[in-house]
Amino acid sequence: MTFMPLDRYAAQIIAQTGKLTDQIKGADLAVPVPTCPGWSLGDLLRHVGGAHRWAEEVVRTRATGPVSDDQVNDVSGDDRADTAALADWLGEGAALLAGSLLEAGPGARVWTVAPDGTPVFWARRMMHESALHRADAAVAVGGTYTLEREVAVDGLHEWRGFTALPQAYPSPEAVRALLGPGRTIRVEVSDGGPDADASWLVDLTGDAPVARDADGPDRTAEPAAVTVRGSAAALLLLMYERQDVLDGHGAVEYTGDRELFAQWRQAVTHWLRKS
């Protein structure tokens, strides 16, 4: 399920990339990025630009199978280069991607790295790729970071979908280690009104992890072994292990078995750490 039309995702790719390039004006590309160990700011920016161009190639060519992601993973480059030139390159890549997405339209069939098979997958994924790596850049340059609630809520829904995929976990054994009686996790969005429908329950009591809506018009809030509560932006960054970079959104609160949440997040973020 997605929550924005294709054109909105495409516009957000450009907007989030613009905020990223504004963040790095005058910055030293050689500074380390604490949230991406081993990377410099230049490495981070080359990764983002490479991801945009990779997704653009998939969409533009209507690829039906995997496309080499070398340009995503090869982040080497000259960190003595002009920051403004790298920022321009980033902006160009975002615009190219947005254009190819709009030209393809939401119903085109393309290869995707997770179930979907349309340009909407890439539009959504690259919006969040841009927004989350903007947080990394903010940490590197000592800047501030905020994230629009609309984007954060969408990111939580995307995350929830990813946790249902077997490839999110390191092994079947790791999945089985999570399971057991009474092992449930409630993720509760604290900001917003009736549209704050990003809260969900992770049920680890059966044969496989299941994520479902925690609340509904016909039932009260389900109890859980641990509840994690915060703004949509704070929760999204918590899931991506960037919980210390937000400004102005408040802290995340835990009630119950905090270790259970930590164990689950460690397992389900395996796919983020794969090289």
**Cβ partners under 8 Å of residue 263, min gap 6:** 177, 178
Residue with more model confidence, 192 or 64: 64
Q: How many residues does the chain have?
A: 275
pTM for the whole thing? 0.92
66-70, 197-201, 234-238: range with lowest mean pLDDT: 197-201
- In contact, 45 and 29? CB cutoff 8 Å: yes
Per-residue model confidence as pLDDT tens digits over 145-161: 999 999 999 999 999 99
**Cβ partners under 8 Å of residue 162, min gap 6:** 114, 168, 268, 271
Q: What is the per-residue pLDDT for 23? A: 95
Instruction: Give dist(CA 56, CA 130) in Å, integer.
Output: 14
Domains and CATH numbers, the chain: 6-145 (1.20.120.450), 154-273 (3.30.1050.10)
Q: What is the per-residue pLDDT for 1? A: 57
Instruction: Give dist(CA 45, CA 39) in Å, integer.
Output: 10
Average pLDDT value for residue range 91-103: 98
Which runs of E-coded beta strand occur in the chain?
184-189, 200-203, 210-213, 226-230, 253-256
Nearest to 44 by CA among 82, 92, 79: 79
Is residue 184 predicted with pLDDT exceeding 50?
Answer: yes
Average pLDDT, the chain: 91
